[in-house]
Amino acid sequence: MKICFYPGCSFASSAGYKESTEAVCRKLDIELAEIPDWNCCGATVLFGENKLRALALSARHFVLAAAMGFDEIVTGCNACYATLRKSADILSEDADLFQQTKDLLKIFDLELVAIPRIRHLFEIIDQAMPEITTDKYKDLPVAAYYGCQLTRPHQDLDNGDHPSMVEKFIEKIGFAVTEHSAQTACCGASHAVIHKDECLPLVQRIVREMEGKGAKAITTVCPLCQFNLDQNQSKDAGPYLPVTYFTQLAGLALGLSPKELGMNKLLVTAAKVLTRS
């Protein structure tokens, strides 16, 4: 399988997301064809500043993906996923904005013709991942954290408020699932950087809910979600649940080493629970 991949700004600097994604994709024979000369998607904030410019940032990737021969774009970041999908929806439904965006891109010798389907990396890995029968991690309870942008506002991947696809994935690859009520609670997103004191209680509520339900580890599908949950624990005296990426758990299930998966980059160490040492 070959996919058109949009990494986004936080992919390479995240705590092992890049390493684990690339390692797992190699194992599953998934080729990541990265969009050349990609730019920031503008995240969700740019739409509040300038809608046309926000659309153009996303649409530039639509043009580049088409030039690569793809009609789908895959990203592993919830904010990128939400932004690209929002842009695709608007451009598909609003002929006037489509033409304005098209005209703006022409200035840069880019011809916008088609709107691609936007997919999350989780979908691709989930579909390609075999069921793991080893019992090495069967007694390790993992709490799934979706964040607030993966299943909302679009609810075609799963139920917006009470999703289950990551829990099903956790079970499929041989880990135990911890049920809890903070699956889609907001972690503060980028506000956690500039409004840390205000957002810290959000993270505490999420992590302590998971701990209280018996989780020994957390897994997430978004770089910013992982960072917020990981770094706020390291400075808040616990409860010190390692916050992994779903690709890191998948890699462990496939027999890859924690080092190959970049797990040494986690701020809350996962050594004792995930390596079973």
Q: Using the CB atoms, write b or e for 106-118: b if 16+ within 10 Å.
A: eeeebebeebbeb
Higher pLDDT among residues 125 and 273, named by residue: 125
The pLDDT of residue 275: 65
Neighbours of 29 (CB within 10 A): 9
Closest CA to 214 of 133, 134, 121, 143: 143
Domains in the chain with CATH codes? 2-122 (1.20.1050.140), 131-274 (3.40.50.11810)
Please write the tens of the pLDDT for every residue from 62-89.
999 999 999 999 999 999 999 999 999 9
What's the pLDDT score for residue 92? 97
Question: Exposed, middle or buried, 28 (CB in 10 Å: 0-12/13-18/19+)?
Answer: middle
DSSP letter, residue 151: S
What gap in Å lies between CA 234 and CA 25, rounded to an integer? Answer: 30
C-alpha 39: how far from its chain's center?
17
Phi then psi dihedrals of residue 14, to 5 deg: -80, 170
CB 24 within 8 A of CB 256: yes
pLDDT in tens, 5-42: 999 999 999 999 999 999 999 999 999 999 999 999 98
pTM of the entire predicted model: 0.94
Q: What is the per-residue pLDDT across 121-145, written as a single tens digit (0 to 9) for each?
A: 999 999 999 998 888 999 999 999 9
Q: Do 230 and 243 touch, CB atoms closer than 8 A?
A: yes
Burial class (CB in 10 A: 0-12, 13-18, 19+), 250: buried
**Which residues contact residue 241 at a Cβ distance below 8 angstroms, ignoring those fewer than 6 apart?**
143, 207, 210, 211, 215, 216, 217, 218, 233, 268
The gap from C-alpha 269 to its chain's centroid, in whole angstroms, comes to: 20
Token couple for 200:
């810290």
Residue type, 155: Q
pLDDT at 46 over 90: no
